[in-house]
Amino acid sequence: MQPLRLASFSTQNKGGNPAGVVIAPQHPSEDEMRKIAADLGYSETVFAHPQGDAWRVRYFSPESEVPFCGHATVALGAALASAQGNGMFKLTLNDTAITVEGHNQNGQMHAALQSPATHSAPAKSGLTDAALSLLGLQKSDLDPRFIPTFAGAGATHLILALKSRDRLAAMSYDLAAGRDLMRDHGIVTIALVWVEDNQRFHVRNAFASGGVIEDPATGAAAAAFAGYLRDIKWPHGGKITIIQGEDMGAKSIITAEIPDEKGASIRVSGEVRQI
C-alpha cells in the first residue's frame, strides 16, 4: 500500500498540484487514512478500492476528510490507467457517483473527470465582508461584472472576482483565521479570479480549511466556477482555461468543458506527472 505521488494539471512536465494516491483492496481505517494524508503533507490524498464495477473513493487533507477533490481525482484517473489500462472508471464518493477517464501513452499521463452536479447562489454579505477583511481586500477591488458567489460541484467554494491581476498576485491571509472562517461557513476554498478574456482566467484558491495557504490547482473549484459562468450566461464558448499556481512557482493549466444544461456535470481535464 505504497502511496503514489502525482501532480495534476501540470504543464510540460512541470508544476501542477501534488496529490497522494492510495489504491488498495480495502480502505485503511479512517485514522490510518488521516495519518497517511498528514504524513504525505499534500493538500489532498485520495484512497480507492474496488467495489463491484466501480471504485469506492474517499479524500483526506492533512486536516480533515473532504467530500470531493478534483486534482486528486485526476491523479487517481492517471494512476488507474497506468495500473488497469486506459479507459473510463466509475467512482463512488461519499455523497455521489462520478467518472474519471485516464490515459497513459508513452509515459505521458492525462486524465479527465466528470464533476458532480453544479450549483451557485449569491454569497451572504456578512461572509463577503469577512472574506474581504481576511484577504486585505476592499469592495472596490472586486470586478463589477461578477457578484460574490457560493459555487459548488461536489464541494462549496466562495468565488471573488478581482479587477486587477496585481491584487491577485498579492493574495495573503492568516491561515488560522482563514480556517475558522471557511469551516464556520461550510466552504472548502475561497477562489480569487482575474479575467484575462472570456475563456481564460487566472485563479488562486485559498485552502485554509485543508490546512494549507493555497492550492496550485483546484479541479473541484474549477468545475464549480465553470458551472457559475454557465449560470450567469457568461460567453464561455463551451470551454475555459484556468491558469493557477503561477504565483507559487507551480504553474498549472486546467481545462473545463461546459455543456449547456443548467447544473450539468463539468468535464475537467489536464496533464499529470509523477513526482
Percentage of the chain beyond pLDDT 70 is 100
Grid cell, residue 155, equals 464541494
Reported confidence tier of residue 175, pLDDT bands at 50, 70, 90: very high
Residue 91: predicted pLDDT: 97
By residue count, the chain amounts to 275
Reported confidence tier of residue 210, pLDDT bands at 50, 70, 90: confident
Reported confidence tier of residue 9, pLDDT bands at 50, 70, 90: very high
Domain layout of the chain by residue ranges:
4-114, 119-274
**Considering the domain 119-274, what is its CATH architecture?**
Roll (3.10)
* Residue 239 parent element (H or E): strand 239-244
Residue 67: predicted pLDDT: 87
Indicate the range of 91-95, 104-108, 119-123, 177-181 predicted with least confidence. 104-108
pTM: predicted TM-score of the whole model, two decimal places: 0.92
265, 67, 17, 246 alpha-carbon torsion, rounded to 10°: 70
Residue 214: predicted pLDDT: 92
Tell me phi and psi for residue 206, to 5 degrees.
Answer: -70, 130
pLDDT digits (tens, 9 = 90+) for 49-108: 999 999 999 999 887 898 889 999 999 999 999 999 999 999 999 989 999 999 998 889
Residue 211: predicted pLDDT: 83
Residue 236: predicted pLDDT: 98
Average pLDDT for residues 131-139, to the nearest whole number?
A: 98
- Residue 232 Cα to chain centre, angstroms: 21
Which residue type is seen at 262?
A: K
Reported confidence tier of residue 2, pLDDT bands at 50, 70, 90: confident
Grid cell, residue 272, equals 499529470
Residue 70: predicted pLDDT: 92
Residue 107: predicted pLDDT: 82
Reported confidence tier of residue 25, pLDDT bands at 50, 70, 90: very high
| CATH 3.30.465.10 assigned to 4-114 | no
Q: Please state, in angstroms and as integers, the Cα–Cα distance from residue 3 to each residue in 21, 77, 211, following that order.
A: 5, 15, 20
Q: Which residues of 29-49 are buried (b: 16+ CB within 10 A; e: fewer)?
A: eeeebbebbeebebbbbbbbe
Say whether pLDDT at 1 is over 80: no
Average pLDDT for residues 250-264, to the nearest whole number?
A: 97
Average pLDDT for residues 213-232, to the nearest whole number?
A: 95
* Residue 65 parent element (H or E): strand 65-66
Rounded Cα distance between 51 and 201, Å, is 38
**119-274 has the same fold as 4-114:** yes
pLDDT digits (tens, 9 = 90+) for 29-51: 999 999 999 999 998 999 999 99
